Amino acid sequence: MSDSDFRPAYDPAEQLALLQRLCRLRAIALYREQALYLQVLRELLAGATRQALFNLLGEVDPSRFSRFPQSTRQNFHASVNDLIDRCNVLLTVEQLMQLVRQMQEEQRRQQAHASRSMLQQLSRQSLNGEPEPEPSTPSPQREEPSGSIQLSLASPIDSPQDNAAPDPVAESVPDSAEDKSSGDLDVLRSLFELAGDAMQQAQQPIEPHGALDHSVESDDHFLPREPDALLHWINAMDQALERRLRNLSHAVNVQMLRSGLAQTLLPISLLDAVLRGQVETQPTATNVLRLRLPLAVGELDQDMDVLCVLLRSNDLEFDSPRLRQCRKRLRAHHHALLTMVRQQRHWQRRSLDREARTHWQTPSDSTQQLSGD
């Protein structure tokens, strides 16, 4: 069987280069669509924010704002307009890319902090070498068979000592077993040290998370060059946009609290949980958030509805046909990039297969010397 039987009909290197050229053209069109989307958003943001405030005050107390002095109302409107203007300045492609880099750095710091905290807990546990003291009034527990799995609502990261505490029967084990447990902890600690170093130093070359780092500093390219990196760029820009809108929403809610139009203020972490879909919300007007929180009054358990402003791109697109058209074209680019990413993965595997086959079929220098001898 000749080598031509294994040679593919298309050269993987040429196909990857072709995809890269197509990606550059796609990036130019994508940048224009993203810039147009943000331009339309800047034009609509002021009206959408005022409408959200009107809907919110209408549901809570329609006459509360009118009872305020005229100077208070004017100051409130001026403060909200100033917040919107400051947000509009940041709603550009370049500013969102800068925010993406900050969010990536923030995520790396959080991962490094979580790794260090886990290492410190493992180090303290291995140095002490003593089990956690039993509570003074332990609750009765039924005997579990050997090797059984115990489920708990406590997170092993939050309280590793409680989850790693030995059973009462294990207090009478020999010293060799304790040494083995300490050795296991050392192994775990070394593994977490390796994981921490990897999270701090590695940039994950397989995943395009670091693709935005060269976007501005690059001489001949403004956006990522590869399809997978450009696809990640689209998703990262959407996340940055949601962060900008969330910050504006929180600032408006703070201004409402200062002006006496609101009695409560939801924390940013709760707003993020709502955006991630982790908290159930109640039906209300667009760009307004309604949460039903449990409230204990004496022996009765009642629910209290808390409302605030939460600007979301989905709600803004729902109320604006122009913004929906821009989003439709962005989704078309997203779908085309998904196809390009599948093609990229295919030709990358073919390229690796060709490289491995070449090394296999080509004898090394040491093999040639042995054959010559």
pLDDT in tens, 144-194: 444 443 434 344 444 444 443 443 333 333 444 444 445 555 544 554 454
pLDDT at 129: 61
Give yes or no for residue 5 having a pLDDT over 80. Answer: no
Question: How is 77-142 classified by DSSP, letter by letter?
Answer: HHHHHHHHHHHHHH-SHHHHHHHHHHHHHHHHHHHHHHHHHHHHHHHHHHHH--PPPPPSSPPP-P
Res 215: pLDDT = 38
> Could you give the 3-state DSSP secondary structure of residue 225?
coil
For residue 308, list its beta bridge partners. Answer: 289
3-state secondary structure (DSSP) of residue 304? strand
Q: What are phi and psi of 246, to 5 degrees?
A: -65, -40
> pLDDT > 70: what percent of the chain?
67
Count of CB atoms situated within 10 Å of the CB of 281: 13
Structural domain boundaries in the chain: 11-113+208-359
- pLDDT tens per residue, range 118-128: 888 888 877 77
pLDDT band for position 203 (cuts 50, 70, 90): very low
Give the confidence band of 206 by pLDDT, cuts at 50, 70, 90: very low
Give the pLDDT band (50/70/90) at residue 8. Answer: low
Cβ-in-10-Å burial (0-12, 13-18, 19+) of 254 comes to: middle
Buried b (16+ CB within 10 A) or exposed e, 37-59: bbebbbebbeebbebbbebbbee
